[in-house]
Amino acid sequence: MQVRLNTLGQVIAKCWVEAEEATAKAIAEKYPDPEEENITFLFAGELRAAVAHASSKNAFANAFSADLQQALPGFGRDVSSKAAGLMARVNLHSRRHEGRRSGSDLGVIITQPSVRRHSVLPQVEIVRDHARALLAQAKLNKRKARRDGRMSWRSLTRPQKKILPDHSEYSALLLYRLEGSVRSKLAPFQWQSCKGHSIEDIENWLRAGNFPKEISSAEVIRDLSIGTLGTDAGPAVESLADPPSTWPSSIEIRVFWPDGEGPPEHLYLQSVAKQVAKQYVVQYLV
């Protein structure tokens, strides 16, 4: 049974939202009317800073400890101490694509520990580096709104149309909205899942400026972290982590123990819940 690390997911989502707010502030003060690629570039830098700050405050270790204590009652300080040293950083993965793709393509990867509890045996398995990915197509609203007041959006590029059909189950539109007379007000990011939809559906949304179900970044990033969104399929994750020429660049939020730190490969813990000693096996996989 997979254990949902809700507290850890909330910390990661908070960093993302803080980075969005810092990006909006930078655009308002210094960089009016940016292109999609500029917004993504500015945001990546702010996300790196937000994650580094949270890591320096032990936010990721504390969150993982809280999740372990909730999922494994009876272990107390013994289990919470296993989170010590957990930290996070942002990695950027990209290749020079020689103009074959739009720079607005973006992959989002969250790599973090995962916890699985055996349904019958008193055994817990923790994988140190488990990655999930979401493929995003960043879209910026056009400069002129429609006559009916709705925004119009840039259509899919040829590379996006080529990539999306095979990966729509873990793809989403990432919507950048610029407002104001000089387009210096960046709204909070919104997302529209492409799961279950065709290229024709997506192009119709963009033309009409109407999306069936927009989702906030806080919800998207949390769901990606806890495993209810995106994919952990090896080929997709590997393509984003080491992108070939036809794939987008990606942002990875990696929650990890530095080399030489963290839990050993095998660990035996003793439960003291209700004064009854039960032996649990916690297996850590690199």
Structure confidence at residue 124 (pLDDT) = 73
> Is residue 94 within 8 Å of 242, Cβ to Cβ?
no
pTM across the whole model: 0.87
Rounded to the nearest angstrom, the gap between the alpha carbon of residue 157 and the centroid of all alpha carbons in its chain is 23
Residue 286 has pLDDT above 50, yes or no: yes
How confident is the model over 216-274, as pLDDT tens digits? 999 999 999 999 999 999 888 888 777 766 666 889 999 999 987 776 554 444 454 44
DSSP state of 248: -
CA-closest candidate to residue 6, choices 229, 253, 227, 283: 227
> Is residue 84 within 8 Å of 58, Cβ to Cβ?
no
How confident is the model over 103-135, as pLDDT tens digits? 457 899 999 998 887 777 667 777 888 999 999
Structure confidence at residue 281 (pLDDT) = 58
Residue with tokens 């997709």: 236
**279: which strand partners?**
270
